[in-house]
Structure 1
Amino acid sequence: MGNVTYFYFMLFENLGYIKYALFSLGFILYCAIIVFNALVILAIYLERTMHQPMYLLISCLSINSVYGTAVFFPRVLADLLSDTHIISIEACLLQSFVIYSYTANEVIILMLMALDRFVAISKPLQYHSLITPKVLTVLLVIICMYSMITLGTAVVFAANLTMCGNKLWKVYCHNYEIVKLSCEKSFINNFLGMFILVTVVFIPLSFILYSYIQILIICQKSSAQFKSKAYQTCIPHIVVLLNFSVSIITEVILSRVVNLEIPIGLTIALSLEFLIVPPILNPIVYALNMPDIRKKILLLIKASN
């Protein structure tokens, strides 16, 4: 990377006293994310009747939320209170990799949730033989390994670029922003970035959309009782999916597709939505809509008092 050994986070400059309000808000949000997701993970882990594919995937979603936010919130909170807003190249690349892998993992888990619901509704008699914890674990490991390898390759390519600048107009490390600081026009990095975007995000999202459309078609041909039960199990997943899809598409548009003339504050808020809203919304949605999880969480809260 030439003589560049660190990057500046330019958006933390000249915040004034508002940085203390942002720090307080960020700290409260991070604590809420940790507590809410920990309650969901504990509820599913401690209740043996919930050791089923659908609940295991919900717990994976919460684990992934904790994983992704662990490299974002502590760093941002420290930068808000710091007078210097620099990060080493190694730490920046690591943060970029973790945030990207968090995003890929989220899409993978949502895709497996869609598969789980599709099989449960289209083949209810064969469901327990087709979708087992072992089958889901194997699928999760294989797909996650693919995304980790491709994302790791993109980070390695970015690490070998020669930098002509070190100013990042983000509040976190973003691989595409790092590539844009390169002195050289890297066709390989741009192609790899688009390849990963298509194979890790858009193809799984297309499969998810197809699965839920098929579920909707099946429900329209079924009895009112079957339709009600199917919708009850699918709606939480669809809410989570829609929220994350809008978040990630917004981030892609803001960072890669166009340079929109909108206020910088709004741009930052929209670009951070995929890192803030899903991790706090997901456990709330499942706790409110899944009676088994809600009951177990209430028991855990009562037991702690």
Structure 2
Amino acid sequence: MMENVSSVRSFVLSGINETMNYRISIFSLTLLYYCVILFFNISLIAVIITDENLHEPMYILLCSFCINGLYGTTGFYPKFLLDLLSSSQEISYEGCLLQAFVMYSFACCDLSILAVMAYDRYVAICQPLHYHSFMSKRRLCQLVCFSWLTPFCIFSISIILTSTLKLCSSKIQKIFCVNWIIVKLACPDTDTSSNSVFAYLTIFIYVFHGFFIIWTYMHLVRKCAKSKDDRVKFMQTCVPHLISLITFLVVIVFDLMYMRFGSADLPQSLQNFISIEFLLIPPLMNPLIYGFKLTKIRNRILCLVRGGRK
């Protein structure tokens, strides 16, 4: 195990300072929003687990998608809510590295799951006769493990590299910990080249994920253009995936571009909103889109609602 050479033992999250005058209002709204995220994601997971008719690859992957949403938001909202009630917004060195790990692995796990879901739709529509042999329980298990273990392994190494840096500042201009920001706090004489190389390698891996998704949809669109039945299947099962994908890419790319090249002259509250978009929009939008759009899930939810009324 690499020895931690940093003398910094805690960080100050200064991004929250401007919002402290409205902290009770922000706390109430944030708590309500987090409860709504928990409710919709847990509800969708419970519906899929309890209904044997939904024990199909597409729905199992959706279940994994929602579990990842819970994982990522739990890494942010509880700590943020505590900070709103606290007079000092500090986080321990180890806690900061853990939160950075959760944030990065959550975002990249989302993209990995979206790539696996794209492959599932490609096989289902373009090679329907081979679907059940291709998407066997064993293959599904391997794909789910891939979508989770890949980002976990990548960012474990990234965080270990960060933990070896000597830091000369403990002030983070955000409301949560970000690995790239921690690396920027390294002392001038500290070598961060290995962190940069690994960061570019990570970007390459997930850009490849993106190209794979584009490749699958090129085949899907070409196949669906020839058949009315395939077009109906595409509209029912691929449109929610496309909406989730586009939303995820927009908020993540926007955040990354701002973090690397954005201006520090923007109001802190706007900077905070930009930085947490990926924790605000996808975790709530995804279960709503799939819940309303996928017929089997919608019908199951309606049955539960009607049964509850009786």
The alignment's TM-score, normalised by the length of structure 2, stands at 0.93
- Match of residue 243 from structure 1: 247
The equivalences for 1:221-260 within 5 A come to 222-259=226-263
Corresponding position: 1:65 with 2:69: yes
Q: CA distance change for structure 1 residues 191 and 265 in 2, over 3 Å: closer, same or farther?
A: same
CA-CA distance at 1:59 after TM superposition:
0.5
Q: CA distance change for structure 1 residues 269 and 14 in 2, over 3 Å: closer, same or farther?
A: closer
Provide the rounded CA distance (Å) in 1 between the counterparts of 2:230 and 2:8.
61
Corresponding position: 1:17 with 2:8: no
Gaps of 5+ in 2: none
Aligned with residue 176 of structure 1, among 163, 175, 180: 180
Aligned with residue 102 of structure 1, among 86, 106, 111: 106
Point out 4+ residue stretches in structure 1 off by more than 6 angstroms.
Answer: none
* CA distances 1:194-229 after superposition (whole Å, capped 9, x unpaired): 211221x22111111221122111112x13233222
Q: CA distance change for structure 1 residues 143 and 229 in 2, over 3 Å: closer, same or farther?
A: closer
Provide the rounded CA distance (Å) in 1 between the counterparts of 2:261 and 2:203.
12
Aligned with residue 296 of structure 2, among 292, 297, 305: 292
Contact 1:43 1:300 in 2 (8 A): no
CA-CA distance at 1:268 after TM superposition:
1.6
CA-CA distance at 1:119 after TM superposition:
0.8
The equivalences for 1:128-167 within 5 A come to 128-167=132-171
Q: CA distance change for structure 1 residues 16 and 148 in 2, over 3 Å: closer, same or farther?
A: closer
- Match of residue 211 from structure 2: 206
Aligned with residue 216 of structure 1, among 205, 209, 221: 221
The alignment's TM-score, normalised by the length of structure 1, stands at 0.94
Provide the rounded CA distance (Å) in 2 between the counterparts of 1:18 and 1:301.
37
Q: CA distance change for structure 1 residues 16 and 64 in 2, over 3 Å: closer, same or farther?
A: closer
Aligned with residue 112 of structure 1, among 83, 105, 116: 116
- Match of residue 187 from structure 1: 193
Calculate the aligned-residue CA RMSD, in Å: 1.6
CA-CA distance at 1:261 after TM superposition:
4.9
Q: CA distance change for structure 1 residues 128 and 260 in 2, over 3 Å: closer, same or farther?
A: farther
- Match of residue 281 from structure 1: 285
Provide the rounded CA distance (Å) in 2 between the counterparts of 1:268 and 1:164.
24
The letter of the residue matching 1:70 is: T
Q: CA distance change for structure 1 residues 298 and 108 in 2, over 3 Å: closer, same or farther?
A: same
SS in 1 for 2:11: strand
Corresponding position: 1:272 with 2:276: yes
- Match of residue 127 from structure 2: 123
Q: Larger deviation: 31-40 or 183-192?
A: 183-192
Q: Larger deviation: 205-214 or 61-70?
A: 205-214
Contact 1:37 1:283 in 2 (8 A): yes
Q: CA distance change for structure 1 residues 147 and 76 in 2, over 3 Å: closer, same or farther?
A: same
Provide the rounded CA distance (Å) in 1 between the counterparts of 2:228 and 2:89.
58
Contact 1:7 1:88 in 2 (8 A): yes
Gaps of 5+ in 1: none
* CA distances 1:75-94 after superposition (whole Å, capped 9, x unpaired): 00110111010000000001
Provide the rounded CA distance (Å) in 1 between the counterparts of 2:211 and 2:242.
14
Provide the rounded CA distance (Å) in 1 between the counterparts of 2:47 and 2:147.
26
CA-CA distance at 1:143 after TM superposition:
4.6
Contact 1:10 1:169 in 2 (8 A): yes
Q: CA distance change for structure 1 residues 258 and 14 in 2, over 3 Å: closer, same or farther?
A: closer
Q: Larger deviation: 185-194 or 283-292?
A: 185-194
The letter of the residue matching 1:234 is: C
Contact 2:19 2:269 in 1 (8 A): no
CA-CA distance at 1:298 after TM superposition:
3.2
CA-CA distance at 1:128 after TM superposition:
1.1
CA-CA distance at 1:257 after TM superposition:
4.0
- Match of residue 54 from structure 1: 58
Q: Larger deviation: 206-215 or 171-180?
A: 206-215
Identity among equivalent positions (%) equals: 33
* CA distances 1:97-145 after superposition (whole Å, capped 9, x unpaired): 1111111211111001100011111111111111123202112213532
Give the count of matched residue pairs: 303
The letter of the residue matching 1:188 is: S
